[in-house]
Chain A
Amino acid sequence: EAQVTQNPRYLITVTGKKLTVTCSQNMNHEYMSWYRQDPGLGLRQIYYSMNVEVTDKGDVPEGYKVSRKEKRNFPLILESPSPNQTSLYFCASSRPGDEQFFGPGTRLTVL
């Protein structure tokens, strides 16, 4: 089944404790993105990647890092999480010129 998977689905952590949210797609898509969703703000893009080793900042990149060492994986790294990063995070992938497919989301709470 074609899909985008994210892990973990739920995470509660404390301020300053490094964490990684994994994202993997099995559709051989070139493009991958990370979004965060906050009430009343919709989805905002954090980072995106056009292909392996090619990443760029989206609209709200502060406090996040990403890497794209393999085509299928695009992990999101929070090196020192803060409470304002409490949010619902979505990973997405697509082919050039096509729709984005979204993962199921990761709900992160930073205490």
Chain B
Amino acid sequence: AQSVTQPDIHITVSEGASLELRCNYSYGATPYLFWYVQSPGQGLQLLLKYFSGDTLVQGIKGFEAEFKRSQSSFNLRKPSVHWSDAAEYFCAVGAPGGGADGLTFGKGTHLIIQP
């Protein structure tokens, strides 16, 4: 069965500092990988996705993520965070081809931005 681990429940970063959120997955083959963001009281917004090809993917809001097959990881990065980045971040894995059985989500990382 597929699974996703986000080791950090909470992360606190100063505004303007760099950010890396960790995500490790367990899957029998190369899965589809996603990062979603959820602002307080809001739904989920897709930040970026990896299906195949270049292992460094660019997303919205200045985020990027790197797929590392050897480490089964898909870490999310941003060079300089803004106060508006404070939110809950979810890594998710799906079957190649986007199976209808949906996504398996990590438990989320809560990002706090210090002024």
Chain A residues within CB distance 8 Å of chain B: 30-31, 33, 35, 40-45, 48-50, 56, 58, 90, 92, 94-105
By beta carbon, the residue of chain A nearest B38 is A37
User: With A96-B97, A97-B97, A99-B49 known to touch, is A45 a contact of B43 (CB < 8 Å)?
Assistant: no
A40/B97 in contact, CB under 8 A: no
B107/A48 in contact, CB under 8 A: no
Listed A/B pairs (25) with beta-carbon separation below 8 Å:
A31-B98, A31-B102, A42-B108, A43-B92, A43-B105, A44-B105, A45-B101, A45-B103, A45-B104, A48-B100, A48-B101, A58-B102, A90-B43, A90-B44, A96-B100, A97-B97, A99-B34, A99-B46, A99-B49, A100-B102, A102-B36, A102-B44, A102-B45, A104-B43, A105-B42
B43/A48 in contact, CB under 8 A: no
Task: Give the total number of A-B pairs whose CB atoms are below 8 A apart.
Answer: 65
Q: How far is the CB of B96 from chain A (nearest CB, A)?
A: 8
Chain B residues within 8 Å of A44, by CB: 105
- B90 in complex: contacting residue of A42, A45, A96, CB < 8 Å: A42
